[in-house]
Amino acid sequence: MKWLKGIGLLLVANVLIFVTLSLTFTVLLDIVLPAFGIDLRGAVTQQDLLWALVIGFGGAFISLAFSKQIARSMLSCVQITQPRTHAEHVMYGAVQEIAQRMRIQMPEVWVYESPDPNAFATGPSKNNSMVAVSTGLLSNMNEQEVRAVLAHEMGHVYNGDMFTTTVLAGLMNTFVYFISQWVYRHLAERNQALALGVYFFLQTVLSFLAMIPIAWFSRRREFGADAFAAKIYGKDAMIGALRAIDSWVKRAQVEYSTQDALATMKISGNTGGIMHLFATHPPIENRIAAIQRLPF
């Protein structure tokens, strides 16, 4: 029955979002824009918005619904159901303990092959999720640090970050499709080839720009997950884990001469200039400073 509850939650979220956007759309189109001498009434319809919403949110929520299966298919991973080694007992025990304390369903626990000290959480809801840890994290961190990283990932689960990120991504997708389709329809009346080229150009550019608010939210949620872990196991444990990751990154930079050894996951957050806008994780020193400022 949990999957029915999850589907119901996704449908309710879609309906509420459509009602909100529809009301905003109506006020903007019929009141706000005409007040500034801009009259788009008749040029844009609620039917356009509905299709944009279905396409924009449809893909995002399908990805969320099958996020666990997608993650497992992309990694060489093994589920831990009966811990056998000491490391597995540490992992499984930490996730189980936090789930019990937070009164949520125990997430699936997986280990996957990767030299990077990494971990992630995914799933459609806090009671239907998974936590995965890399072999590199287990081999590069002590028990306290591993528990802190797992508490961080459980923070994402408990805070519902996966669902919130999906809603934000769906919203961005909706506007990307809506704007691109609106421009295409009006240009197609004059030049079909030009309209098609502009459509794909807008899709590409707007999708790229849509990553900025999504990345911004991703950075904010990392601070929240860090605070969650610090509250569960103490500030020192989470700070120690972040410093261990930072040390690994610096060693890898020297060994492999790479600018950022964890660039694909943006875990180190060491991106400069405009690329900072697309980083999914804040710089580690900023995260440590934020933990140190916590009032507990």
Residue 263 confidence (pLDDT): 44
In a domain, 250, yes or no: no
Distances, alpha carbon 168 to alpha carbons 14, 27, 160, 215, 270, in Å: 12, 22, 13, 10, 24
In a domain, 178, yes or no: no
Tens digit of each residue's pLDDT (9 = 90 or more) over 103-128: 999 999 999 999 889 999 999 999 99
Residue 68 confidence (pLDDT): 94
Tens digit of each residue's pLDDT (9 = 90 or more) over 228-278: 999 999 999 999 999 999 988 888 766 655 544 444 344 555 556 687 888
Residue-range definition of the domain harbouring residue 86: 75-158
Q: Which residues of the chain fall below pLDDT 50?
A: 1-3, 259-266
In a domain, 114, yes or no: yes
Residue 270 confidence (pLDDT): 59
Residue 128 confidence (pLDDT): 94
Positions annotated as catalytic residues are: 153
In a domain, 85, yes or no: yes
In a domain, 130, yes or no: yes
In a domain, 101, yes or no: yes
3-state secondary structure of 59: helix
Residue 49 confidence (pLDDT): 72
Q: Residue 107 maps to which CATH number?
A: 3.30.2010.10
Global model pTM greater than 0.75? yes
Q: Give the total number of structural domains in the chain.
A: 1
In a domain, 90, yes or no: yes
In a domain, 196, yes or no: no
